[in-house]
Structure 1
Amino acid sequence: MTKLLGLLLLVTAVTAQIFFPGEEPGATEHEEPADTDLFAALGVTIRQNTNIVFGSNSCVTPSGESGTCQSFSSCREFLPMRNNLHRPSVLAFLRGRICRRFRRTVHLCCPSSTPGTIRPPTLPSRPPTSRPQTCGNVPLVNRVVGGIITQPGEWPWLAALGNMVGNTFSAGCAGTLITRRHVLSAGHCFAPGQVIPTMVRLGAFDLTRSSTSTPPQDFNIRDRRDGGYNTRTNEDDIIILIMDREASLNEYVQPACLPYKYRNENFLGDSLVVTGWGRTRFENARNSNVPMKALVPVKSTASCVADYRKLPASKRPAIDGRSLCAGDGSADACAGDSGGPLHYLDLLEGKYYVVGIVSFGVGCARPDYPGVYTRVTSFLDWIDRNTQ
């Protein structure tokens, strides 16, 4: 009898279900596909709640931010991760934010901070041609998604390239601040037969007026380092601009991270973020006054080549390992975004890395023609040589 009782106790202990704070036996939750996909990716062995939960919804993230315990699909800050659940770094990031577990889903601690509550660290003074030790440090909040307005200071390395027309700055292309004196952009922005930008504007949000207490910084383009852009094939669409003086770094002006650690990464299956002041629709004649951002899924080079093979041979661009294709028709870069950055989010570091430069496409957001970007990892050695 004693042995039987012991066996029953053992079975009970082994089969007992472990519940997270706020969960009751038999509790269920509305399940979106993203929620069940996350649960499957994380596995059923999740047992430890690493976040502090207060009451039914309030929680604290591992980094000490206040948040709300809610489903994966309802947290906008986590939307860019939906297509990246195959990455161990993404799963590790999300696993550390689990605050409640249901039968087939989990809730995550979704940060409730707003842009500006976390300030980038002040950068130490460095020679203008040195690769910055600190880069890409901006809050991971309110930055999801396709075709919506960004916030001031959200992309502090985003540069507007253009000219003064009377008392108004007119932007024609975009770029990325990579040192205090160098801006990375697209070679086609400086091809013959068009208005060539002569100025760089940093720290700008609304190009038509001052929208922050810190005014934008304007620079003349003193010199250029051409990557060898081919106007017929669109190859090597990259250029480095040298400004006439160093930029003053602040919360609205910071250098971007270059993807040295991702030299061998193709980003296939990832969703990347493109930003710029381009048209919100191809039919629009005017660019946006404020930066827009869009989430675009990466396509394979082979499928991209096949898509563009539908063009007449005389108009067919060269697409190879130096190119990065992204977009599915729901969002895309457009006219006016040329030269702007395409970003990969490193969740463990909390940083964005600039992995692409807006190069060309057919129209905007066409599902049959993904956007084509210059792959920055293919030019890292060239960038190093030309920023010395």
Structure 2
Amino acid sequence: MSLSFVSTQSAHRGSHWLGTSWIMLTDIVGTSVLTFAGVARQLGWVWTILFIVCLAPVSIYSALLMSRTGSTLAKLPGGKRPESMGEAARLTLGGDKAAAATYLAVYGFGYLGQSSYILVLGQCLQGVFFQSELCLPTATAIACLLCLPIAVSVRHLSDSVVLCFINLFLIVAVLAIVMAKMYFEGRPSNVHTFAFAEDLTFWSAFGAASNIVYSYTGHWLYFELMADMQTPEHFPLVFLINAPLQVFLYLLVACWGYHFAGDKAEGYFLDNLPDGEPYRWASILLFLHVAIAFLVKNVVISRALHMRLSPSRVDVGFREPGGIRAQAEFAACVVFVFITGTLIANSIPFFSDLLALIGSLLSGPISFLLPIAGVLSVYERSGTCGYMWYVRV
């Protein structure tokens, strides 16, 4: 599938399930994996491995429930497949009030997540130019300007498939640079590892476990992904690739980082590198990776905003009547998200801690509880046998 930067309704055909897999990997194998060495330092070997392995099937099962919800709603008399989690809430959980609350939680959380990506992009640029002492507000502004041309052009998730395919290799390259540097330097004699971290407390365990939970919670955009597929019923097939690759990379980074850095491991994987060329190149590759992940989520956020402002033109292609205006409206939404996200990320001193708290409160319910509530509601409406329902899922 070729990458198109000018989206037209006539040319838009949706993505194959394999393309959807690459898009999902951009989100789920993202910056959260870079925290896993620090997570292992806080938890120790046993809890780290247990959380990573055991949360994977929970995440997959809730995603399959979302797929089943969409398929069943489409088969009901007069029914249709939801194109967002808010629309799914409207169809399953009680109309406009449920939809409004879900939209606020899901897209509010996604919007704040975009602001955190802007911060990470700025930090990556600081790493690239570590000798110039570039300040963070300036770095984030430059990062947004670099991302803006592509962001205003890509209006469908399926338009980003090639970028997402490349993106997986970018994060693998970042991890390889850091891991190779740690390997060749060897494990320091003063490094210690533990089955259970010696200073483990309830709150430290909760915080570390929240990072792992967050890394499995990409469900907020799954309905958008299904809606953008050629055959939405094939959505479960993406986990044939995603699930083993995700668990493997998570375990590899956590165990490798903890083995070589142990109780001295930094919370941010690149902080285990000293200033120098490996750090610079890792920062360059990480910037490209985060930029692509940022742009993919921007499609969902900006499209949702465009839908609220001008629903009649959200799917109008550039070369169709009214297409230039539709493209300009989408570009305005993108610029709004970029500017406000940058201001929020730089104006709140404790923004990262605030986002971690909000993520701990919202990511679990959005990704695990809402899919269960939705599928139970559809079960009642369809009259499907409960036992057969769960066997089929």
TM-score, length-normalised on structure 1?
Answer: 0.23
Which of structures 1 and 2 has the bigger CA Rg?
Answer: 1
Structure with greater proportional strand content: 1
Q: Whose RCO is larger (CA < 8 A, sep 6+)?
A: 2
Compare the two structures and name the one with the higher helix fraction.
2
